[in-house]
Structure 1
Amino acid sequence: MIDRNVTKLEYDVCDYQSIKNAFREIQSSDYSLFGLVNCAGVMKDAPLLMQTNEDIEHQMSVNVIASLNHIQFASRLMGRARSGSIVNITSVVGIEGSEGQVAYSTTKAAVIGMTKSVAKELAPLGIRVNAVAPGFIDTPLTASYDEQKRNDVLTKIGLGRFGHVNDVAHSITNLLKEDSAYISGQVLRVDGLMSL
C-alpha cells in the first residue's frame, strides 16, 4: 500500500535550481523517497514544416530534460537506501510515431531510451526504472482535439473507447509498488490496443 501522507512541493520543473531545492527539502524532511513519477509534459502539435524552434525546445525541456534532472536527484536519495522505483510517462506515439506530432513523439521516444538506459545504470543500486506509454487518454491535453479527430482516433482503438486517467494512474501505482519488485527497464502500453 502506498502511503497517502504526502507533502506537495510546487516549482518549475524546467528550472534546475528549483529542482535541486525541492530535493534538498525532501532530503532534510522526516520522509524517505521511495518513488518518483516523471509526469510533467507538454504537447504542441504541428506539421513538421510548421513547428517553431521555440515549441520544439520547450517540449524537449519539459518532456525530456526535466525528467532526466529529476532522475539524477532522486537516484542519489534512493541509492542511499538501495531501493526505489522511478516511473516515466512516455506515450504510444514515442513507440509508433504520429503524423503532425514529430517534435512531441521525438521527445517521448527519448523518454523510452532514457528509461531503458537509466534502468541498466541504476539496477546495481536497487532502483527500478520503468515507463508507462498511454494512448489516447481523456485529459485537458487531448480536450482540444476536434470531434473529427477524436472519431478518427477512436476507430484505431481496439477496446473501442478512450482511456481514463485512472487507467494510467493504476498502472503507475502498480509499477511503484513492491509487488513489481522484479520489473525494470520496461515500457507498459496503456492504450486499449491502439494502432497508429
Structure 2
Amino acid sequence: MSDFSESQSASPEPSRKPKTKLIVAVAVGVLALGGLAALAAVIAQPSAISVAADACAGAKPLHAFLNDLQDSSSPQPEPTDTDELGALDELFEGVVSVEDNGTTLIVNTKSEDDDPLGATSLALDCVYEQLDVPAHIRERIGVTRSVDGRQDGAWDAFTASWSYHPDNGANVIIVQD
C-alpha cells in the first residue's frame, strides 16, 4: 500500500494552469508590443522623397559640388566671397519642394536667363543620386525639348513626369507609389 492518500495522488496541481495562462498572456503581450514598436519605427522613418528633398534642398547640391572640386587633385579655386554664396543660395530657393505629405518631390530648375550656367540642374543630379533614378530616365529627362511636351517614366517605387522649356527650366515631378 502507498503512503499517499487517494486524494493527494488523484488531484492535479490546481496552480499549474493559471501559471501557464499567465506566461502565455505575457508572451503574447510582449510580441504585440514588439510588433507595435516595429510598426512605429517604420512609420516614423522619413520617406525616400523627404530624405532626397532634405539632401537636395537649397544650395546644398552646389556646396557639395564645390567641396568635391576642393577635394579633387585640380588646382584649388580662389576663396569664394560669402556675398556670392548668398546670391547662389537665393538662386536655389524653391528649386526643390515636397508636397502631398511627403510623397511628391518637385524640382523646378531655373530658366536659361536666370541661370545661364545651369547651376540649379545640380539639384536634379542630387535627386537622381538620392532616389537611384536609372540612367534611361535621366537620359530621357536630359534630352527633353520644349516641343516634346510632358514626358513620363517609372522605376522601382516611383513615377515621374517632366517637361522642359528654356524660358522656364525643367519641371520634374516624382511621386513615390
Answer 1 or 2: which has greater strand percent.
2
TM-score by length of 1: 0.24
TM-score by length of 2: 0.26
